[in-house]
Amino acid sequence: MEEMETQSPDKETRTWALILHLSVLSGLIVPMAGLIVPVVIFILKKDQIPGLTPHGYVVFNWMISVLIYALVSFILIFIGIGVLLILVLAILSLVFPIIGAVKASEGEVWSYPLSIKFFK
């Protein structure tokens, strides 16, 4: 039997997908940049690099999900569990984009766990 060869995304797609995932972390340096930079990258590159679209959807799903989870966590601060949820959310917001970037550099689209699927 012949092994089926899978087409790996080209280097440019992998590079921009990696940058897109890591751009979420830019908010650690400049407030609100983690929300703006991924959108700008996606808008500028989506037509030039069609393989970037699934990565953009994964990132946007996570960004929207994090905002919802943060809002719920802040509300739950009043019953005590919100602080723990915010800490967990902060850790996941660091870890998931890094894993997504590593997977993107390998040519794989990795859907972040716990993200709500707004875009498919």
Angstrom distance (rounded) from CA 18 to CA 39: 14
pLDDT of the residue at 14:
95
Please write down the long-range contacts of 19-22, taking CB distance under 8 Å and 24 or more positions apart. Answer: 20/45, 20/52, 20/55, 20/56, 20/59, 20/104, 21/55, 21/58, 21/59, 21/97, 21/98, 21/100, 21/101, 21/104, 22/97, 22/98, 22/101
Average pLDDT, the chain: 91
Q: Band of the pLDDT at 6, cuts 50, 70, 90?
A: very low
Q: Band of the pLDDT at 9, cuts 50, 70, 90?
A: low
Each residue's pLDDT tens digit, 28-64: 999 999 999 999 999 999 999 999 999 999 999 999 9
Distance, first Cα to last Cα, the chain? 34
Higher pLDDT, 12 or 80: 12
pLDDT of the residue at 114:
94
Angstrom distance (rounded) from CA 32 to CA 14: 25
pLDDT of the residue at 80:
85
Domain spans of the chain, in order of start: 11-105
